[in-house]
A and B are shown apart, each in its own frame.
Chain A
Amino acid sequence: MAKRKIFDKGKNCGRKGFVYTIEVLLAIFLVAVTITSLFLQVPEKPQGDIAITKRLGIETLEYLDNKDVLRNYVNSNDAAGIERELDALLPNRLNSNATICERSCTFSGLPVDRNVIVADYYVSGYRTTYLGKKVRVFMWSR
């Protein structure tokens, strides 16, 4: 008597639910991976403190100029004097250094592992003396 197989699928009839479950699990896995990759990284905080620090440096130099001390330091090439003034005026969270230069400013001793913010202030003269110099201030977080 010939085999009578009503099916091929007769053998796989009982596996329907298994395939469906696999499909659902696969879909859920794909959705989970997508959502995880989208939301895992919290958006990066904007670096507003850099702009704040730069503005602080420029306003402090302008204040020293209005106070009539900055040009005297520049005339005497006294960068250390400017640094002392800055230490008293800038917030404690900041370290600073200053240099007086004409065209190219070089300064060593800056930290290499953090952001350093630079502010320039140009000084044309002091009383009857033409100077043509600039004060460059370097600021970074402690």
Chain B
Amino acid sequence: MRNNKRVECVGGKTDRQEEISREKTTDGSHSHRRKGFVHIDYIIAIGVIIVVFALSVQFATSFFTPAQEEAQTQTVTANAFSLLSMADFSSSPRVWNDTSLPERIGLYTKAYRFLILVNNTGSSYLNQSQSVINLSNELVNFSFSDLGYSGININSTVVLDDNNRTLSYQISGEEIRFAAIVNASAQRWYVVYFDDDSNFTSRSASVAVTNNLSERIYPTEQINIVQYQQMNELSVSNYTLVRNATSNRDFHIRLRDVNTSANQINYGADEPRRGTVVALQRFVMYQNATANVNQGRLIVQTW
């Protein structure tokens, strides 16, 4: 007889559900138990959406947070590299002060160096009949104009022996003369440094010498150094003004002597206790207050 039953779509229910709900009219407990059943699918869907949303936020956060930190570190590192290049360029403009600030901090200049060989053997004697003896004040002299240089800052001349000791010398016009100490049948090397863009005071001192030998002067070579004059200009300037004119990021610059660890430059703000601080260093040759060329360690920190 079921086949003759009329089937109607009542609220989308099946035949069985219709029978059950008809039963409900006689037995109310069934209808109360089944009411929430039709909404369970939506609850499940909402729950899944919430879970997926939470996972999406977590993934997005883990994606963007290190990228942001890395970008900041790279920016600070680029700024530190730019500062470290101060040993490769002069400041721009070259002459500046607190009223005419630099666009770029620079300390670089060229200096020149050549070697002199003093050979106390018979073939070097001016008087070939003279016997080879120990010489304690052998004249060594040279002229910058004879070497082909003009516009030299002659006061920047530094003479070193092969033990790296600074020797006193006498200036006479464009000529430099100093005393060499060479034992018989020995040879000694002397190094002369000079530049053409500094402003040192004269350190000329008279020397008592005798001229017995001819010396050999080797070709001049150019070296890159950190210039004393530019170091001075930086050290006496106003840090806040320089920072705002150049990078607008805080920094600290130190130039430390390799042998004595004395700070030749100590300029800038104090490093923060927290945050991203990038420190870079390089070794350079620098010029001190008496024009001596020494070994230094240039350290820059920026944040």
Q: Residues of B with Cβ closer than 8 Å to A? A: 3-4, 6-9, 11-14, 17, 38, 41-42, 44-45, 48-49, 52, 55-56, 59-60, 62-63, 66-67, 70, 74, 77, 81, 113, 115, 191, 218-219, 223-225, 280, 282-285, 295
Please determine whether A14 and B17 come into contact, CB atoms closer than 8 angstroms. yes
A60 at the interface (CB under 8 A from B): yes
- 19 examples of A-B residue contacts, CB within 8 angstroms: A3-B3, A4-B6, A6-B6, A6-B7, A7-B7, A10-B7, A14-B14, A21-B42, A25-B44, A31-B52, A32-B55, A35-B52, A38-B59, A39-B62, A43-B63, A48-B77, A52-B81, A60-B282, A63-B282
CB distance from A11 to the nearest CB of B (A): 7
Please determine whether A39 and B59 come into contact, CB atoms closer than 8 angstroms. yes
CB distance from A52 to the nearest CB of B (A): 8
Cα–Cα, bound, A128→B219 (Å):
8
Chain A residues positioned under 8 Å from B13 (CB to CB): 13-14
Please determine whether B224 and A62 come into contact, CB atoms closer than 8 angstroms. yes
Chain B residues positioned under 8 Å from A21 (CB to CB): 41-42, 44-45
A105 at the interface (CB under 8 A from B): no
The one of B52, B60, B81, B223 in contact with A32, judged by C-beta atoms closer than 8 angstroms, is B52
Cα–Cα, bound, A99→B41 (Å):
74
Taking chain A's interface residues, is the majority helix, strand, or loop, or is none over half, making it mixed? helix
Chain A residues positioned under 8 Å from B4 (CB to CB): 1, 3
Please determine whether B14 and A36 come into contact, CB atoms closer than 8 angstroms. no
In the complex with contacts A14-B14, A32-B55, A6-B285 CB distance below 8 A? no
Please determine whether A66 and B285 come into contact, CB atoms closer than 8 angstroms. yes
A40 at the interface (CB under 8 A from B): yes
Chain A residues positioned under 8 Å from B48 (CB to CB): 24-25, 28
Chain A residues positioned under 8 Å from B62 (CB to CB): 39, 42
Chain B residues positioned under 8 Å from A4 (CB to CB): 6-7
Beyond A39-B63, A59-B283, 9 additional contacts (C-beta under 8 Å) are A10-B7, A13-B9, A16-B12, A21-B42, A31-B52, A43-B63, A45-B66, A62-B224, A127-B115
A68 at the interface (CB under 8 A from B): yes
Look across to chain B and name the residue whose beta carbon is closest to the beta carbon of A90. B283
A1-37 vs B, Cβ < 8 Å mask (1 yes, 0 no): 1011111011101101110110011001001100110
Look across to chain B and name the residue whose beta carbon is closest to the beta carbon of A3. B3
A114 at the interface (CB under 8 A from B): no
CB distance from B302 to the nearest CB of A (A): 14
